[in-house]
């Protein structure tokens, strides 16, 4: 099969060569054909333009038409028009000698074209696909080729810590695979995005692009290996994920707060706590399938709901313990009685324990007598349970706001938020 394909390619190539007639070109009536014969009859497309002492300069531009990003494999693919321009001194002529022809079109197969490879290609054996097209040659020796290309590159592992508010940085680094900078060098032009023709991506938004030149100096050699890097910043369309994540977080937190409005003695509170833990477990399972399995850092959203699960479990355990204490028929420990009486002496103690006629006596002996006479064990237990419950409420009101705002990247809720700031934080 391979031999057949090679044979067909050679036949097509030779058929194209038949259009060039190198004998008696002076009598050719077609001026364009006569020009092509004069230019290419002795042209060797395997020889680099220019002399050996000077590098051939290549102007490189990337016109992006479509893109896609696979967050599972951390791979970005682009469809683009890659524009390459260089000077070939062998391809110049006087337009007056050829009826004023100032430029011609020629298949890139006939020309010397720069060798260009994608260094960070997704599959090393396939560094991209660029189709053969016509190149424009001007009588001033300038050659320009606009090639439709498809490339896939591995992206920098920024991670998914801020999912679903994550931003990814993808780069495409092009350079020569065999030629050094003393033979082939690049002049980076720019990245052009066809915003009107750019195909909408359902998951990602292309927010920024840039191009930079790398000189390619290395300590192990005096030769240089220059390259050109095109960088793209992608921001996730997080509408669906944002609504589902934030609304679920708020609902579960509110449900945990509502628990405190139910008496620890009530069986309803026990079921309510269990339902909160179960709902949180279901949403963690949902996130397990939604969050990409890549990166070495745990996403903040998973950490948040994991902490919320731990808190809900602690609240369930607290409810069981308090319910057990309230139903206990044994005599109250002395430390529990002391705690309630001590809190009762503080200002605003009515927020923590029920007001009663309990007062702190002057010594331990009087304390025992005072408790026996003026307070029942039931009242002490109720006050102790109320105290623990209020402390849990205070802890919840302090903890939940910090947990909630930790879901968002730094500066996300501020005015003038720039997605590229996340890349700076990750670096």
Could you tell me if residue 18 is inside a domain? no
22 found inside a domain: no
| 288 shares a domain with 202 | no
The whole model's pTM is what?
0.70
**Are residues 245 and 114 both part of a single domain?**
no
Could you give the angle at the alpha carbon of 38 between the alpha carbons of 12 and 35, nearest 5°?
85
Written as six digits, the tokens of 147 are 């090639």
| 182, 209: one domain | yes
Burial code (b: 16+ CB inside 10 Å, e: under 16) for 206-237 equals bebbebeebebeeeeeeebbbbbbbbbbbbbe
Quick one: which of 73, 98, 251 has its CA closest to 170?
73
- Angstrom distance (rounded) from CA 237 to CA 241: 8
Same domain, residue pair 137 and 249: no
Shared domain for 77 and 193, answered yes or no, is yes
Q: Is residue 2 in a domain? A: no
Structural domains of the chain, count: 2
Question: pLDDT tens across 104-157, in order?
Answer: 888 888 888 888 888 888 776 555 677 877 889 998 889 998 888 888 888 876
Can you give the residue range of the structural domain that contains 152?
36-237
Q: Of 176, 208, 237, at which residue does a domain stop?
A: 237
| Domain final residue, candidates 210, 237, 264 | 237
Confidence of residue 19 (pLDDT cuts 50, 70, 90): low
- Among 237, 253, 270, residue at a domain's last position: 237
Q: Is residue 257 pLDDT above 80, yes or no?
A: yes
| pLDDT of 335 strictly over 60 | no
pLDDT digits (tens, 9 = 90+) for 181-210: 888 888 877 666 655 566 667 788 888 888
165 and 287 inside one domain: no
Region class of 331: left (phi > 0), else alpha (psi between -120 and 50), else beta: beta
Answer whether residue 254 is part of any domain: yes
Tell me the percentage of the chain whose pLDDT exceeds 70: 72
- Say how far apart CA 365 and CA 225 lie, in whole Å: 90
24 occurs within a structural domain: no
Q: At what angle do helices 334-344 and 377-405 cross, to 10 degrees?
A: 70
Which CATH number goes with the domain that contains 233? 2.70.170.10
Q: Does one domain contain both 245 and 319?
A: yes
């Amino acid at each position: 099969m391979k031999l057949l394909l090679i044979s067909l390619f050679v036949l097509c190539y030779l058929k194209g060569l038949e259009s060039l007639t190198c004998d008696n070109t002076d009598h050719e009536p077609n001026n364009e054909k006569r020009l092509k014969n004069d230019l290419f009859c002795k042209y060797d497309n395997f020889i680099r333009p220019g002399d050996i002492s000077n590098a051939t300069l290549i102007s490189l531009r990337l016109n992006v038409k479509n893109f896609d990003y696979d967050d599972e494999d951390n791979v970005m693919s682009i469809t683009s028009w890659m524009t390459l321009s260089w000077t070939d001194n062998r391809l110049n002529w006087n337009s007056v000698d050829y009826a004023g022809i100032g430029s011609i079109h020629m298949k890139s197969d006939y020309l010397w074209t720069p060798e260009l490879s994608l260094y960070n290609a997704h599959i090393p054996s396939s560094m991209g696909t660029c189709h053969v097209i016509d190149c424009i040659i001007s009588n001033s020796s300038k050659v320009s080729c606009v090639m439709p290309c498809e490339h896939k590159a591995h992206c920098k592992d920024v991670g998914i810590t801020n999912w679903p508010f994550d931003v990814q940085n993808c780069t495409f680094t092009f350079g020569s695979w065999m030629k050094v900078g003393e033979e082939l060098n690049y002049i980076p032009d720019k990245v052009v995005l066809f915003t009107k023709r750019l195909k909408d991506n359902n998951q990602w938004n292309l927010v920024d692009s840039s191009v930079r030149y790398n000189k390619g100096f290395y300590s192990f050699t005096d030769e240089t290996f220059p390259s050109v890097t095109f960088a793209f910043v992608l921001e996730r369309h997080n509408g669906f994920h944002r609504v589902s994540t934030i609304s679920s977080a708020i609902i579960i937190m509110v449900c945990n707060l509502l628990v405190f409005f139910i008496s620890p003695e009530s069986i309803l509170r026990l079921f309510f706590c269990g339902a909160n833990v179960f709902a949180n477990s279901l949403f963690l399972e949902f996130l397990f399938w939604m969050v990409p399995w890549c990166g070495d850092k745990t996403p903040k959203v998973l950490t948040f709901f994991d902490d919320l699960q731990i808190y809900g479990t602690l609240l369930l355990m607290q409810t069981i313990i308090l319910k057990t204490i309230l139903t206990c028929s044994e005599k109250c420990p002395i430390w529990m009685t002391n705690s309630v009486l001590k809190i009762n002496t503080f200002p605003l103690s009515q927020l923590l324990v029920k007001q009663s006629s309990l007062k702190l006596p002057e010594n331990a002996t009087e304390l025992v007598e005072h408790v026996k006479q003026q307070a029942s064990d039931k009242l002490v237990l109720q006050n102790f349970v109320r105290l623990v419950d209020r402390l849990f409420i205070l802890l919840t009101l302090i903890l939940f706001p910090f947990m909630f705002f930790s879901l968002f990247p730094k500066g996300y809720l501020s005015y003038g938020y720039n997605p590229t700031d996340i890349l700076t934080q990750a670096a």
